[in-house]
Amino acid sequence: MAKLIDGKRISAQIKEELKAKVADLKEKGITGALAVIQVGDDPASSVYVRNKKRACEYIGIDSLSYELPEKTTQEELLELIARLNQDKKVKGILVQLPVPAHIDENTIIKAISPQKDVDGFHPQSVGALTIGQKGFVSCTPAGIIQLLKRSGIEIEGKNCVVVGRSNIVGKPMALLMLRENATVTITHSKTENLKEVCRGADILIVAIGKKEFIDASYVKEGAVVIDVGIHRDENNKLSGDVKFDEVEPLCEAITPVPGGVGPMTIAMLMNNCVQAMTD
């Protein structure tokens, strides 16, 4: 039976560490707030925003909430970001994505000061990651590194295959595994012989957004499998991009859905906020 990589436990551990760190910083007079901006009232976004604000409260960081109407113009949003960029007590700025279609996501991401880019999406943050310099790292891939390290899984020298090349998961994930000295292959929808490539992985990281796409035929015996996918069925039951029941018996270790990668994203956002307070 595979070892279950427990994201719930590890994220709770990280949040406890951050809580202690924030209390320590407060004693030294170092504080700061996270500004959370939501445009429109998409229900899924509202849940994410609420959870982020709750996490701030838990670890002791102030959060400032900006709930803007759907019809907010790009200029109005840019003005708010410019104001927050200047505000010394605001250490982190987060615009909940997606923004409404009349607003250009890339323009918004670029407007956030790289010093306050706690999502790690700004081109400067991505560039810093690419050339191995200090900067904010996208939260989900950063969380996966913590899952691997805190579960005692060796990364250095291992063959890692990342399935998916999105800007927020696949690409930064591959760069982080490279930084940890894995030998990395990035695959995507045009990859030929995907099965064969995946079967070469010691560590297989799947972020494709297709429910239970990866079955046992993609996985080498003894591999570590990380499932980033999240799918909710009509009964609210969650599943991932990996066919867990079929793949689990083959693996050395695997993340469940729910309770694997999911809880790590907010923990790492909090980690980035604390980094922003101390930089």
The residues pairing with 93 across neighbouring beta strands, listed in sequence order, are 35
Give the closest residue to 94 by CA, choosing from 269, 271, 278, 279: 269
Give residues with Cβ within 8 angstroms of 130, minimum separation 6. Answer: 175
How many C-beta atoms lie closer than 10 Å to residue 100's C-beta? Answer: 15
User: By rule CB under 6 A, what string of x and - marks binding of each residue 118-147 to ligand NDP?
Assistant: ----------------------x-------
CA torsion, points 172, 173, 175, 179, in degrees to nearest 10?
Answer: 130
Of the listed 96, 116, 146, 202, which one is catalytic?
A: 96
Tokens of 264: 């790590």
Of the listed 117, 119, 202, 227, which one is catalytic?
A: 119
Q: Please, what is the Cα angle at 276 between 108 and 144, to 5 degrees?
A: 85
The reply to whether 45 sits near ligand NDP by the rule CB under 6 A is no
The reply to whether 238 sits near ligand NDP by the rule CB under 6 A is no
Look up residue 158 and give its amino acid. K
How many C-beta atoms lie closer than 10 Å to residue 168's C-beta? Answer: 17
Nearer to ligand NDP, 134 or 195 (CB): 195
Q: Please, what is the Cα angle at 187 between 109 and 226, to 5 degrees?
A: 80
Q: Which listed range, 69-77, 85-93, 120-128, 225-233, lies at the site for ligand NDP (CB under 6 A)?
A: 225-233
The reply to whether 163 sits near ligand NDP by the rule CB under 6 A is yes
Nearer to ligand NDP, 87 or 259 (CB): 259
The reply to whether 165 sits near ligand NDP by the rule CB under 6 A is yes
Measure the CA–CA gap between 137 and 166, rounded to whole angstroms. 14
DSSP-derived pairing of the beta strands 159-163 and 62-68? unpaired
CB of 155 to ligand NDP, least distance (A): 19
CB of 166 to ligand NDP, least distance (A): 3
Q: Which of 265, 267, 269, 277 binds ligand NDP (CB under 6 A)?
A: 265
CB of 131 to ligand NDP, least distance (A): 22
Of the listed 6, 15, 38, 52, which one is catalytic?
A: 52
In the complex, which residue's CB is closest to ligand NDP? Answer: 166
The residue behind tokens 């500004």 is 35
Binding site for ligand NDP (CB under 6 A): 140, 163-166, 168-170, 187-191, 194, 207-210, 228-230, 261-262, 265
Residues serving a catalytic function are 52, 96, 119
